[in-house]
Structure 1
Amino acid sequence: MFTGLSAFPLTPLTENGIDEKSFVRLIDRLVSAGVDSIGALGSTGSYAYLTHEDRARVARLAVENAGDVPVMVSIGSVRTSDVLRLAEDAQQAGVKSVLLAPVSYQKLNEDEVFTLYETVSRNLSVPLCVYDNPNTTHFEFSDALYMRVAQLPHVASIKIPNLSPDPVATRQRLDALRALLPAHIKLGAAGDLAAATVLTQGGDVWYSVIAGLFPEIPVAIARAAKRGNAAEAQALSAQLEPLWVLFRKHGSVRVVAAAAELLGMVSAPCLPLPLQSLGGDERQRLAGVLEQLRLQA
């Protein structure tokens, strides 16, 4: 479950709710490309904007259409009681794992975050991936908290932010974490830009935004890394630099949503307001990048 490439698709929306047909087409696309797992309802999947019922429905759709590809679903919410309900829904849908970020309106402290994971882990029957996402949650895990949470039952992976594209720095960071954590904990890249480096420097899994829409090159990157061909993995990642430029400037979800809209893969707008995909000149710039990279629906 926690190796190779985990692709995180959009959850496309319309005025009437979830665009189920478009979502299923995105899942089919990932299965056909041979991704190792699917991360439904991640940050790219707009989970924080959806109702409890919508999230349960998307979890079922993902599992029902993923075939043999394992599905992970985000269960993050601001109240622990809601997280537990979402965890139960996800398990009933048949997911193979869950993803949990410490979502909150008030900034949490380390003891509160640990208690969240401790409570949730006691009520799971599937593995849990810890999502350290300070850009969204405004909470950053310390290594000491990683160590505490990693000892809990069912915790199996950590989605690590802000890993460096520098191979030496990334190797040092991963080695330092492995020295602190139980051997079974899988370490994954939370960002696309450094993922090729992470996979070739000892990381286990790439939790990928771009693979949720355009999986072919990410699949090739992951397979090159698995073969130990760092040069090929880095060269493939470098091909996507025009996209990485836009990711750095606007954030990945706005870019992939605009790309999906431009290519007719989803209706426009597909994001939950007030969130919006790229518009104006930047949208036209993205259209040129898609043509340059020959990225198609």
Structure 2
Amino acid sequence: MSSASPFHGLSAFPPTPADRNGFVDTEALGRLLEPLCGAGVASIGLLGSTGIYAYLSREERLRAVKVAVECVHGRVPLIVGAGALRTDHAMDLARDAEAAGADALLVAPVSYTPLTQDEAYEHFLAVAKATRLPLCIYNNPGTTHFTFSRELLQRLSDIETIRAVKMPLPADGDLRGEIAALREKTSLAIGYSGDWGAAEALSSGADAWYSVVAGLLPRTALALAKAAMAGDEGEARRLDGLLQPLWGVFKAYGSIRVVYMLAGHLLGVPVELPRPILPLGPADREHALDAARPLIALERQSLL
């Protein structure tokens, strides 16, 4: 278990290699995690949305956590997703992650029946009480169809072990305004997903970038994060410019489809999406590969 802060800096979110039925390839997962540790990312986010947590059984999620803990071996804090439809299931997943040696939790308010703000509060309170691990709130309305009010985030920040929030990019683009408003109401560490807005989020004062691309191209993402956090706007723009073709295919096809195709390409082994999600067709695959190849070459040659 790592003692470093898991909710500041670049957090790399790798895919979870598995077959179409959700059986995790633990050997391939270890091969994905090792470069993240070597690059020196601030934390690793296992079983996030890109890590297909919602499609995996409790048993497969635990297998993934155990191999990740063994691979990371305390070098980098490990944040583990514990989102589930039912509160008791989320509590079980949180306990599993703690027992396996995780450093922190990421919890989304997964829902079928839309949750109220009070229901979400009680859900998070129960999960927080189930373990001693610090917890990051996963505000991801694109998949959960639930949006946290600032008042709810304020209430949740009063729970001792809830330490951070992972936010989507604001629809109005006002990152500085949103960060200021959140800091006024909460003591949470504020991080963002949405890779194409990460440089701006960090330069606007965000504490963390929860990054999909860092799960495959950690040195590239780390160079961008460091430039943005240091206020080096020119270097941040240069690096973000290199990534623009990849951001384009993320937006066009959905980042999860692109990332799983790229993971299979990099590992040289089949990495399948859980059904009913289908892989990219041949033309779209080539388009995505064309966008990624220059970045893969730079990553491999350590030119950044």
The normalised TM-score by structure 1 is: 0.94
Report if the CA contact (8 A) 1:165-1:197 is conserved: no
| Cα displacement (A) at 1:292 | 3.6
Q: Answer whether contact 1:269 1:277 (CA < 8 A) is retained.
A: no
Separation of aligned partners in 1, 2:244 and 2:89: 39
Task: Look up the match of 1:290.
Answer: 292
User: 2:20–2:275: 8 Å Cα contact kept in structure 1?
Assistant: no
Q: How does 1:12-161 map to 2 (within 5 A)?
A: 12-14=17-19, 17-67=23-73, 68-161=75-168
* C-alpha contact (below 8 Å) 1:171/1:201 kept by paired residues: yes
Tell me how far 1:165 sits from its aligned partner: 9.5
Return 5+ residue gaps in structure 2 as ranges.
1-5
In the other structure, the counterpart of 2:269 is 267
- Matching residue of 1:280: 282
In the alignment, the residues of structure 2 paired with residue 34 and residue 151 of structure 1 have an alpha-carbon distance, to the nearest angstrom, of 31
Q: Which residue of 2 aligns with 1:242?
A: 245
Kept in 2, the 8 Å contact 1:87–1:124? The answer is: yes
Residue identity opposite 2:98 in structure 1: Q
Decide whether the 8 Å contact of 2:77 with 2:103 is kept in 1: yes
- Residues 103-155 of structure 1 show CA distances to partners (whole Å, capped at 9, x for unaligned) of 11111111110110111112220100000000100111111111111111200
1:172 is matched with: 177
Q: Flag the 1:155–1:59 CA change in 2: closer, same or farther, 3 A.
A: same
C-alpha deviation, 1:82, in angstroms: 0.5
Aligned-pair CA distance for 1:190: 1.6
Deviation at 1:49, TM superposition (A): 0.7
Whether the 8 Å contact between 1:269 and 1:276 is mirrored in structure 2 is: no
Aligned to 1:2: 7
Q: Is the 8 A contact 2:249 2:291 kept in 1?
A: no
Aligned mates of 1:290, 1:162 — CA distance in 2: 23
The Cα offsets for residues 207-236 of structure 1, whole Å up to 9 and x where unpaired, read as 000100111111101222332213312321
In the aligned structure 2, how far is the partner of 1:231 from the partner of 1:165? 24
Shift of 1:15: 5.9
Residue matched to 2:170: 163
Does the 8 Å contact 2:20/2:274 carry over to 1?
Answer: no
Name the Cα RMSD after superposition: 1.7
Q: Which amino acid aligns with 2:29?
A: F
Are the counterparts in 1 of residues 156 and 162 from structure 2 also a CA contact under 8 Å?
A: yes
Query: Which amino acid is the alignment partner of residue 268 of structure 1?
Result: P
- CA distance in 2: counterparts of 1:108 and 1:164, whole angstroms: 21
